[in-house]
Structure 1
Amino acid sequence: MGEKAVFLDRDGVINEDKGYVHKVEDFYIYPEVFPALKKLQNAGYKLFIVTNQSGIAVGYYTEEDFKNVTKHMLNEFEKEGIKIEKVYYCPHHPEGIIPELTMKCDCRKPESGMIKQAIKEFNIDPSKSFLIGDKETDIKAAHKENIKAILVKTGQGLKYVNNTEADFIAENILDAVEQFILGNLENENIKERGNTSQA
């Protein structure tokens, strides 16, 4: 039996998407993120971040810039007792200017390489897992690994609500967690209890 997990896109889900966010002073975490992640953690979900960071390949910022922002983000989570198992990021872009990062890769969403790696490294059961994203590329990446996907209306989400393959549409990350992930769990438990009582 594998572990259950929630995969999170970063910009537009965890923090305000101001376009190629790469400075700590521009990194604003939505306040509802903290209670949302605590609820998931308390329910036994492992938490992962899977983020496209093509700004590195196109020269808008460096890998070091990204790592500084990541360190700041993880510190903020740690203060609240939230553990992110691992942050996966794709620094590539097919039309970049940094030669070693200019490629068509299998990790840049909508490809599912980052999710696939987490499944393998942490023994994740896709059938018990979810992804929360604000773009259709997130949704497609999740579905390639048979993971249920939730589109949030924060970040870029409103662009996609009328034309999405998402399993659920939520107002924000907290709504996604309460209504769909934990709500879904409660429904399954009720079903299981029902099956047991009939036995």
Structure 2
Amino acid sequence: MNKAVFIDKDGTLIKNVPYNVDLERIALENRVVEALSMLQQNDYLLIVVSNQGGIAKGYFNEKQLMKANAHLAGLLAASDVFIDAFYYCPHHPDGVIADFAKKCNCRKPAPGMLLQASQELQIDLKNSWMIGDNLNDVEAGHLAGCKSVLYDVGNETEWVMNRFRKPDYKTSNLLKAAAMICEVKYENIEEHEPAPESL
């Protein structure tokens, strides 16, 4: 069985630009490369699980989303970080595209995407984690049987709580989250962002 870290995309892996599939506006969140590299080196599968209700709402289509996901994968691969799988939910109960305008068991906080990945990739959910920037991510992780990290950068605004929505760990630093998951002492990691290379 494999262990995995399930990661939300918009607002966690990349800057939160609502309903964005414009490649020029896709930018990695702080410390993403370092965090994912650490997880990868510690034998965690890296699996993106993302609500993409913009498909149901007609803002973009699946082909555009796949192109955006490929672009994101390329940005990470340039730093030797490799996403093992992308899962997305195209549904939304208020959608206008008939095929996708419905309630489902894959839109977070439902755990459907994580459960599907666990079956297809032989994942041990009890030894896996979910990282995301709102409590729907936390709840999805817990409902699937994972532990959870809330990437707390202000994107959760409602704070509606139940017993599944209490994160196991909360941080505004993705590298710190990775260090906790991998049981590495964060004090041994450089605290500041690496300085950009001079031209």
Partner of 2:74: 75
Structure 2: gaps spanning 5 or more residues:
186-199
- Alpha-carbon offset, residue 172 of structure 1: 2.6
**2:56 alignment partner in structure 1:** 57
SS of residue matched to 2:99: helix
Matched position secondary structure for 1:99: coil
Contact 1:11 1:155 in 2 (8 A): no
Alignment of 1:107-118 (within 5 A): 107-118=106-117
**In the alignment, does 2:142 pair up with 1:147?**
no
Q: 1:127 to 1:51 in 2, by over 3 A?
A: same
Aligned to 1:182: 182
Structure 1: runs of 5 or more not aligned = 187-199
Deviates more, 1:56-65 or 1:37-46: 56-65
CA distance in 1, matches of 2:38, 2:57: 37
1:126: Cα distance to partner?
A: 1.1
Whether the aligned pair in 1 keeps the contact of 2:30 and 2:174 (CA below 8 Å) is no
Say whether 1:90 aligns with 2:89: yes
Q: Could you give the per-residue CA deviations for residues 83-123 of structure 1, whole angstroms, max 9, x where no partner exists?
A: 11110000001110000111111100011110001111111
The question of 1:172 aligning with 2:173 is answered: yes
- The aligned amino acid for 2:8 is D
1:167-189 residue CA offsets vs partner (Å, 9 max, x unmatched): 110113212111x2022x78xxx
Question: What is the letter of the counterpart of residue 55 of structure 2?
Answer: I
Instruction: Identify the residue that residue 132 of structure 1 maps to in structure 2.
Output: 131
Contact 2:125 2:145 in 1 (8 A): yes
The structure with the largest alpha-carbon Rg is 1
Equivalent pairs counted in the alignment come to: 182
Determine if contact 1:151/1:161 at 8 Å carries over to the other structure.
no
Instruction: Name whichever structure is richer in helix by fraction.
Output: 1
* Counterparts of 1:106 and 1:153, CA distance in 2: 25
Give runs of aligned pairs for residues 37-48 of structure 1, distance below 5 A. Answer: 37-48=36-47
Q: Distance in 1 between matches of 2:76 and 2:36?
A: 9
Aligned to 1:12: 11
RMSD: 1.7
C-alpha contact 2:134 2:152 (8 A) present in aligned 1: no
Q: Percent identity?
A: 35
Contact 1:36 1:177 in 2 (8 A): yes
TM-score (norm 1): 0.86
SS at match of 1:100: coil
TM-score (norm: length of structure 2): 0.86
User: 1:184-199 alignment to 2 at 5 Å?
Assistant: none
In structure 1, what is the Cα distance between the partners aligned to 2:159 and 2:175? 17
Report the Cα distance in structure 2 between the residues aligned to 1:128 and 1:72, rounded to whole angstroms.
29
Deviations 1:131-189 (A, max 9, x none): 101111111111111100100123614x36795511110113212111x2022x78xxx
Cα pair 2:47 2:87 within 8 Å, conserved: yes
Q: d(CA) in 2 for partners of 1:161 and 1:152?
A: 13
In 2, Cα distance between equivalents of 1:128 and 1:155: 27
